[in-house]
Structure 1
Amino acid sequence: MTSLAKGLAVLRCFADAQTPMTIAQAAKMTALSRPSVKRCLHTLVRLGYAALDGTRYTLRPKALALGYAYLSSSPLAIRAQPMLDQLRDELHESCSVGVLEEDEVYYVARAEISRIMSIALRAGSRLPLYCTSMGRILLAAQDRQSQISYLRRTRLIARTDYTCTQPSDLLEILASVAEEGYAIVDQELEVGLRSVSVPILGRRGVVAALNIGTQAARVPVTELRTRYLPALRRIAQELTAVGFG
């Protein structure tokens, strides 16, 4: 259904823009014609999912129901949230669970102790695979040809001076992650941020990643391995025991 696909594309624009949008802005972001975007936005307004203020559109609270439908029905999100809360209280660090979707890490559960990034992260947030610890866990679970294909179609942007953007180097990193069973990213996504992740296994292999993010100035890389990694592995094993698909 082309109309449904266009409507969903326009709806997703609001998450990317993070500000009220005009028809012209939405058309540029979706590569759709202005008349098509206008019809989609008009429908969203009529259904109560969006509001028009002058020439700019914003989402209304009713749109929350679309995301909540997933979170309230996902066994992984439901089971993981109390464990993340427990881990956060134990280590006093923010922790998350993410899954692979459309070449990105989608956050499905998060427990935050404090805001350690310049962008706010919550369930529904998306981040790149190649420069995040959860992303590397999810990529490492794929076969080599799938990894190569991902690297070829992805724009590998240097988010910081530490970001690895060389495909050959990233393939070596992914091989190490697969062998060692964890991934550490040191200030590659954002300066001052370090994170460590481990896989969550299901009946068909890796279904998600579990991570802890912390401030580089406060926690050295060695502590990620000696203190945080064992705790992550313990929670991941508990989640694995549930037996997700």
Structure 2
Amino acid sequence: MTQPPSPLGSVDKALLTLDALARAGAGGVALADLAAEVGANKSTLHRTLAALRHRGYADQGPDGAYTLGPAVLSLGAAYLAEDNLPGLLRPALEALRDEVDELVHLGTLAGQEVVYLDKVEPQRPLRVWSAVGRRIPAATSALGRALLAAAPADGAEIERYAADREPAERLRAALDDARGRGYATETEENEPGIACVAVALLRGGRPVAAVSITAPAERMSGTAGAERTRALREVLGRTLPAGLTLPPSGP
């Protein structure tokens, strides 16, 4: 199907220019090549690039090649900011809930704790209390372990997260296990009879949040648990918004 023309051609050319600069990468692209790619004459494109450079969205090297400018980073950071993540990730959370029919949480680190940013309830009842804004210890939660494992901490940091809630050796072993598997687990450490599995969400290789499945422990072990863990990675892998990725999976 043919895409309808842009309602404002000059803005469309600027956006196409940014797309082309992104594809060119750090090496940049010459004005003539850029003009051919976006379908603009060089004089018009030169003015567009001047406007983009003025606002920091484009840059020009000593060799004359054009690249993306640093202002683009602030757009990406704002798009994936903590207060924007619940809205961005709600479709992914709902898709995961629909796949497994279990409670799904989105959380991020806040000091030594994890704070719930969003939750999606299953159809079937689950006797576990949670609420957006609730905080739980990072060291003893699957969400926290997934986040900590994705950003390896030194010994002092592990001691700080462990504190009096979790022996540092046990936390270190849990994080090593999470790195090897590509996901973190927790069984009956926060709620009797309840278990969780979680995976970190990465931006530029650094964790910004994590998603978990929470269910009765009997549904999180054996074949049933393996199916939920597989769904966690597979559903998120195909529904995450651009800019977010998952850690590598284990063997």
Please tell me the TM-score bracket, short chain as reference. 0.5 to 0.7
Residue 240 of structure 2 corresponds to residue 232 of structure 1: no
* TM superposition shift of 1:132: 0.7
The answer to whether the 8 Å contact 2:158/2:172 transfers is no
Greater CA drift, 231-240 or 122-131: 231-240
Change (3 A) 1:89 1:156: same
Residue 93 of structure 2 corresponds to residue 84 of structure 1: yes
- State the match for 2:133 in structure 1: 124
Alignment gaps of 5+ in structure 2 = 1-80, 246-251
Separation in 1 of the partners of 2:159 and 2:240?
28
Alignment of 1:144-223 (within 5 A): 144-145=153-154, 148-152=156-160, 154-157=162-165, 165-217=166-218, 219-223=219-223
The answer to whether the 8 Å contact 1:108/1:123 transfers is yes
Alignment gaps of 5+ in structure 1 = 1-71, 158-164
- Counterpart of 2:192 in 1: which secondary structure? coil
Identity %: 27
The answer to whether the 8 Å contact 2:197/2:212 transfers is yes
* TM superposition shift of 1:73: 8.2
The answer to whether the 8 Å contact 2:143/2:199 transfers is yes
* TM superposition shift of 1:82: 2.3
Separation in 2 of the partners of 1:98 and 1:73?
9
The answer to whether the 8 Å contact 2:104/2:119 transfers is yes
Separation in 1 of the partners of 2:207 and 2:230?
18
**1:185-241 alpha-carbon deviations (Å, 9 max, x no partner):** 111112100111111121242221111000124x14124542111211123324555
- Counterpart of 2:190 in 1: which secondary structure? coil
The answer to whether the 8 Å contact 2:115/2:135 transfers is yes
* TM superposition shift of 1:170: 1.4
Separation in 2 of the partners of 1:127 and 1:169?
18
The equivalent position to 2:149 in structure 1, one of 140, 144, 169, is 140
The equivalent position to 2:109 in structure 1, one of 100, 103, 107, is 100
The answer to whether the 8 Å contact 1:187/1:194 transfers is yes
- State the match for 2:243 in structure 1: 243
Change (3 A) 1:98 1:115: same
Aligned positions, number: 165
- Counterpart of 1:242 in 2: which secondary structure? coil
Asked which structure has the greater CA Rg, the reply is 2
- Counterpart of 2:151 in 1: which secondary structure? coil
Q: Which amino acid aligns with 1:97?
A: L
Separation in 2 of the partners of 1:173 and 1:149?
15
- Counterpart of 2:169 in 1: which secondary structure? helix
**1:89-117 alpha-carbon deviations (Å, 9 max, x no partner):** 22111001111111111111110123432
The answer to whether the 8 Å contact 2:92/2:240 transfers is no
- Counterpart of 2:215 in 1: which secondary structure? strand
The answer to whether the 8 Å contact 2:151/2:206 transfers is no
The answer to whether the 8 Å contact 2:88/2:241 transfers is no
**1:134-181 alpha-carbon deviations (Å, 9 max, x no partner):** 110011122331x53242365333xxxxxxx22112112211211211
Change (3 A) 1:244 1:88: closer
Separation in 2 of the partners of 1:223 and 1:95?
19
The answer to whether the 8 Å contact 1:186/1:194 transfers is yes
- State the match for 1:65 in structure 2: none
Q: Which amino acid aligns with 1:100?
A: L
